[in-house]
């Protein structure tokens, strides 16, 4: 549900080599990352709906000293939207709803409700302001909220644009879609999910919201002050159809396989879910991998970050769930698909240690830098003895020195190397390295 911003996102492209699943090397990668406090993660790969790889590393709950295993269940955040969209298309196929049905039929108090259709809500074209973008919203998420309270909040939101004119991610629309599922079916979302998806696919490790005394539930962590620490978690009533499902990677990978195999909705409905416009489908996103096309979704809520995708032609599904990460999840996703398709991938070397530089040394790097290779500027500044880099339109990133001229933001695998030679460090020039790309910057 949260938004994460880094300087840029680059997809690493590999060339195909021999087809073969390299589970041992993937094990080594995950174990190396866990041993160096880069992530706590569970990974599953299914082929034709059957698991062919399952691996969990790190802790389910570090305070309880409880290790994760393949049955550990994670909050999957916005991957919930794929389930919600599937339930909506099932109602459409039952003749109880249509893509052209106006929101006003259910919630006329929402701004522009008469002009907003179910199709617009599914594809993030409703214009309903994203309630999780409200100032200080996440400070209020730990207290349960009723449906009436959430509807009052959603009704108070302004419209961001004319419905249907463009796309902008909206948790608000999916919260409302979850309510509409309940209104039409006469059941709680959890009951409809159970009978129309979970039971049909025998997904026994998936629930909507918390289950009392759940011994397999992962807890949320962040890497702070050089250690993993538990962090608070939002109440499921605040996210509902937009992000309240808890599951295992294996269950979610099976769900994607079942969805694409026609076990839940028709091929015509699936085609509508897969139709991408302005970057969004209806509960699905599209990702490239070499000459393959993947469909899936990702999710972020509290310290949980999740990703799932299916390669439809090969019927291979991947799910990667973390409850604590200090490393780019995209790099792990690429490694998993690379393993399946027999591509090589690197296991990072963490032997180099961070160093400490004086404040006066850090201040030499302060200034604004630009590049002909990227359409952004980066400003360096020092605050409280910490060097920060802030790209145009983005938040500041704390940089860690690994030499007098090399700095890193490891959660995004960003490395900044200032020019150096025998006569010293050139503080007017540096190279930004990320995702295999190298981009020179000079001081303005």
User: What 3-state class would DSSP assign to 209?
Assistant: coil
List of residues 6+ apart from 422 with CB closer than 8 A: none
Among candidates 158, 160, 199, 208, which has minimal Cα distance to 181?
208
Q: Quote the pLDDT of residue 8.
A: 37
The residue assigned the tokens 């209020």 is 140
Could you give phi then psi for residue 222, rounded to 5 degrees? -135, 150
CB count within 10 Å of CB 192 equals: 20
Q: Quote the pLDDT of residue 435.
A: 73
The residue assigned the tokens 């807890």 is 219
The answer to whether 309 and 330 are in contact (CB under 8 A) is no
List of residues 6+ apart from 393 with CB closer than 8 A: 376
Q: Quote the pLDDT of residue 138.
A: 75
d(CA 282, CA 55): 30
List of residues 6+ apart from 406 with CB closer than 8 A: 415, 416, 417, 418
The answer to whether 369 and 439 are in contact (CB under 8 A) is no
User: In CATH, what number does 23-340 get?
Assistant: 3.40.710.10
Q: Quote the pLDDT of residue 61.
A: 96
Q: Pinpoint the alpha helices (H) of 224-319.
A: 249-260, 267-274
pLDDT block averages, 10 residues each, the chain of length 444: 38 37 91 95 97 97 96 98 98 98 98 98 98 85 93 96 97 98 97 98 95 89 88 93 97 98 98 97 96 96 96 97 94 95 90 92 96 93 94 89 93 90 90 88 96
Q: Quote the pLDDT of residue 20.
A: 59
CB count within 10 Å of CB 195 equals: 12
Among candidates 10, 3, 4, which has minimal Cα distance to 415?
10
Which residues are paired to 39 by β-bridges? 325
Could you give phi then psi for residue 387, rounded to 5 degrees? -85, 130
Among candidates 105, 115, 97, 109, which has minimal Cα distance to 150?
109
Burial letters 70-106, b for 16+ CB under 10 A, else e: bbbbbbbbbbbbbbbbbbbbbbbeeeebebebbbeeb
409-416, long-range: CB < 8 A, 24+ apart: 409/6, 410/38, 410/326, 410/327, 411/6, 411/325, 411/326, 411/327, 411/328, 412/6, 412/7, 412/328, 413/327, 413/328, 413/331, 414/6, 414/7, 416/389
d(CA 263, CA 257): 9
Q: Quote the pLDDT of residue 421.
A: 82
Q: Give the DSSP H or E segment for 74.
A: strand 74-75
User: In CATH, what number does 359-443 get?
Assistant: 2.40.128.50
d(CA 391, CA 35): 31
Task: Let me know if 186 is exposed, middle or buried by CB neighbors in 10 A (0-12, 13-18, 19+).
Answer: exposed
d(CA 159, CA 442): 41
Q: Quote the pLDDT of residue 146.
A: 96
Hey, where are the domains in the chain?
Answer: 23-340, 359-443
The answer to whether 40 and 221 are in contact (CB under 8 A) is yes
Please tell me the total number of residues recorded for the chain in this structure. Answer: 444
Among candidates 202, 201, 193, 237, which has minimal Cα distance to 88?
193
């Amino acid at each position: 549900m949260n938004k994460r911003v880094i300087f840029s996102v680059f997809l690493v492209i590999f060339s195909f080599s021999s087809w073969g699943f390299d589970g041992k090397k993937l094990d080594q990668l995950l174990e190396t990352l866990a041993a160096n406090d880069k992530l706590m993660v569970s990974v599953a790969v299914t082929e034709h709906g059957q698991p062919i790889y399952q691996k969990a590393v790190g802790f389910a709950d570090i305070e309880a000293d409880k290790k994760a295993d393949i049955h550990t269940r994670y909050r999957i955040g916005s991957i919930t939207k794929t389930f919600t969209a599937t339930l909506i298309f099932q109602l459409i196929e039952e003749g109880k709803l249509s893509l052209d049905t106006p929101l006003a039929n259910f919630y006329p108090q929402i701004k522009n409700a008469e002009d907003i259709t179910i199709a617009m809500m599914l594809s993030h074209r409703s214009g309903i302001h994203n309630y999780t973008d409200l100032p200080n919203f996440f400070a209020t998420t730990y207290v349960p909220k009723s449906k009436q309270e959430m509807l009052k909040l959603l009704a108070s939101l302004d419209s961001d644009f004319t419905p249907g004119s463009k796309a902008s991610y909206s948790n608000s629309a999916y919260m409302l879609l979850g309510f509409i599922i309940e209104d039409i079916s006469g059941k709680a979302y959890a009951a409809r999910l159970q009978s129309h998806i979970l039971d049909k696919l025998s997904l026994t490790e998936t629930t909507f919201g918390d289950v009392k005394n759940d011994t397999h539930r992962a807890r949320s962590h962040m890497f702070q002050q050089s250690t993993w620490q538990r962090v608070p978690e939002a109440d499921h009533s605040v996210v509902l159809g937009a992000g309240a499902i808890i599951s295992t990677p294996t269950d979610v990978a099976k769900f994607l396989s079942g969805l694409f195999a026609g076990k839940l909705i028709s091929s015509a409905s699936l085609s509508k879910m897969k139709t991408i416009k302005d970057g969004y489908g209806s509960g699905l996103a599209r990702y490239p991998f070499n000459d393959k096309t993947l469909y899936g979704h990702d999710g972020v809520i509290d310290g949980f970050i999740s990703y799932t995708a299916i390669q439809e032609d090969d019927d291979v599904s991947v799910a990667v769930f973390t409850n604590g990460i200090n490393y780019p999840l995209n790099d792990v996703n690429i490694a998993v698909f690379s393993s399946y398709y027999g591509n090589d991938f690197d296991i990072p070397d963490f032997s180099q240690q961070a160093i400490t530089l004086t404040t006066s040394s850090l201040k030499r790097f302060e200034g604004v830098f630009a590049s002909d290779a990227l359409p952004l500027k980066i400003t360096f500044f020092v605050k409280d003895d910490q060097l920060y880099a802030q790209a145009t339109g983005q938040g500041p990133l704390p940089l860690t020195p690994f030499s007098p001229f090399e700095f890193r933001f490891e959660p995004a695998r960003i490395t900044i190397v200032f020019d150096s030679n025998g006569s010293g460090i050139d503080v007017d020039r540096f190279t930004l390295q990320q995702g295999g790309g190298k981009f020179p910057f000079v001081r303005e």
